[in-house]
Amino acid sequence: MLVVEDSPLYSAEFFATGDPWSYLAQLRREAPVSLHRRADGYEFYALTKHADVHAAYVDHTRLSSAYGTMVDGSYLPRKDSASGRMLIVADQPEHAAIKKPVKAGGFNRTMLARIGDTVRRNIRTALDGLAVGDRVDFSRVVAPALPMGVLEVLFGIGATDAGHLLERTRTMIGYRDAAYVGGSSLDSLVDAQLEVLDFIEELIDDRIASGADDDMIGMLAQLVASGAMSRDVALLNGLNVAVGGNETTPHTASLVVTTIDAERDQWRGVVDGRVGADVATQEFLRWTSTNSYVQRLSVADFEVGGQVIPEGSFVTLWNMSANRDEDVFERPDEFVVDRQDNKQIAFGAGMHRCIGAPVATLEVQTFVEELAEWDKAFEVVAPPRRLHSNFMLGLTELQVEVVKAKALVA
C-alpha cells in the first residue's frame, strides 16, 4: 500500500492554493487506498474510489463516527463528551434515537415547503437589491441568503437573529482562516461556540414556556420538557444542525456562480429551459462537492479495495474524489449540466447521509431557478479566494459584477 509521509491532504494551504483534485485523481488511479502520515504521528487511510467510499459509508458497524468526523478533530482515537449524544458523532443505537425527532421536527414535508418559500424570498430580496454595474463580494452579499431561510424556519427566529447565528457558526468552522477571524483563533472558536449554545438554550426555554412545537427547536424543547431527551442532547443537536446547515450551502452557491461564469454555453440550457434546474442541481452538487471528506475510525478490521485496514485506524472517505471517479462518471473532469442518472455522493450515503440533504438540495435548486429567471447575471471579475480548509471546499471572497443576463448568455 502506498504510504505518503507529510501528505498534502493534511494541508489547508494545499486546498486553498494547490490542486487537490489532481492529487486525488492520481491516488484514484495509482493507489485507491493509501496511508497518509504526518510528522507528529497522526495517520489516516484515504479512500478515493466511489465504490470504496460508498462501501465505507454503509458499513457503520465497523467504521464508527463516534471518534470525530474531521482529521484533527481529536488527536487520539478517543471519544469526546459529545460522542453518542450529537448526531454527527453518534453510532447505533443512539444515532437512531436522536435522528428520529430531529428529522420529524425539522425535515418533514411541511417544514420543507416552508423552508423553500422562505429561502426563495430571501434569494429574491438579495438579487432585487442589485443593479447592473454593481460590484460585490458574492460570498458575503448573496450566498448567506441560502441558509438564512432554513434557520428562520427550523429555529423559529427572525432574519436578524439568523444572520447573527450565521456569523457565529462561520467563526466556528472557519476559525483557522484569517478571512473569518482576526487575532486569536481558538479564543474566537470557543467564544462563538458558547454564544451559539447560549442562544439555542434561550430558544429552548422560550418554547418550553410557550409549549410551541411547530419547528425543530420547539420539537426538541417539548422532548426536553417531557423528559424524553436531555437538555444537553437537545443543545448539541441544535448546534449540529445550525453548523451543518450554515457552513455548506453558501460555499456551494459561490462555486455555482464561478461554474456558471466558466460554463456559459451550458448555463444557457438552464436559462432556456432545455435543462431542468433539478438535473443541473445534481451536477452542481457533484462538481462542487462542498464537504470534501469525512473521517471514521475502524472498530474492527475493514476490507476495502483489496486492502485490509486494521482495527483502530482513522479512515477518510473522500467525497470530492468519489465524485470524479472515472468508473462511475463519463467525462468525470468536465462539468456536464444535463448529466443523466447522476450518482453524486456529495451528501454521503447510508444512515449518516446528511440529514439536511433534502433542504440543501432545495436551497441550491431554488438558487439555480432564481438565477435562471433573473434578468441579470454575475460575472466573476477577480480570482476568487479559496477557504483555507481541507474539509470544506468554498470561497471566502468572490468579487462579481452584476451584468445584464444577455451579456452572459448572448
Interacting residues with other proteins (CB under 8 A): 80-82, 184, 186-188, 190-191, 193-195, 197-198, 201, 232, 235-236
Closest approach of other proteins to the CB of residue 154, in Å: 21
What span, in angstroms and rounded, lies between the C-alpha atoms of 382 and 268? 22
Q: Between 187 and 311, name the residue whose CB sits nearer to other proteins.
A: 187
- Taking the CA atoms of the chain, what radius of gyration do you get in angstroms? 21
Q: Between 244 and 305, name the residue whose CB sits nearer to other proteins.
A: 244
What span, in angstroms and rounded, lies between the C-alpha atoms of 312 and 247? 30
Q: Between 134 and 195, name the residue whose CB sits nearer to other proteins.
A: 195
What span, in angstroms and rounded, lies between the C-alpha atoms of 341 and 183? 47
What span, in angstroms and rounded, lies between the C-alpha atoms of 20 and 321? 9
CA quadruple 172, 72, 98, 233: dihedral positive or negative?
negative
Q: How many whole angstroms from its chain centre is CA 191?
A: 22
Helix boundaries (H) for 6-137: 12-17, 20-30, 50-58, 94-106, 109-128
Q: Between 34 and 188, name the residue whose CB sits nearer to other proteins.
A: 188
Closest approach of other proteins to the CB of residue 184, in Å: 7
What span, in angstroms and rounded, lies between the C-alpha atoms of 207 and 216? 10
Closest approach of other proteins to the CB of residue 394, in Å: 25
Cα–Cα separations (whole angstroms), residue 399 to 138, 215, 339, 395: 6, 36, 29, 10
Closest approach of other proteins to the CB of residue 135, in Å: 36
Q: Which of 389, 87, 72, 50 is nearest to 251 (CA)?
A: 389
Q: What is the DSSP-derived secondary structure letter of residue 229?
A: S
Closest approach of other proteins to the CB of residue 237, in Å: 12
Closest approach of other proteins to the CB of residue 324, in Å: 37
Closest approach of other proteins to the CB of residue 229, in Å: 14
Phi and psi angles of residue 302, each rounded to the nearest 5 degrees, phi first? -130, 120
Closest approach of other proteins to the CB of residue 242, in Å: 14
Query: And the C-alpha cell for 221?
Result: 424543547
The kind and range of the H/E element at 295 are: strand 293-298
Q: Between 115 and 203, name the residue whose CB sits nearer to other proteins.
A: 203
**Residue pair 237/86 in contact by the 8 Å Cβ criterion:** yes
Q: Between 241 and 317, name the residue whose CB sits nearer to other proteins.
A: 241
Closest approach of other proteins to the CB of residue 188, in Å: 8
Q: Between 198 and 333, name the residue whose CB sits nearer to other proteins.
A: 198
Q: Between 232 and 397, name the residue whose CB sits nearer to other proteins.
A: 232
**Residue pair 147/241 in contact by the 8 Å Cβ criterion:** no
As beta bridge partners, residue 315 has 45, 296
Q: Between 187 and 334, name the residue whose CB sits nearer to other proteins.
A: 187
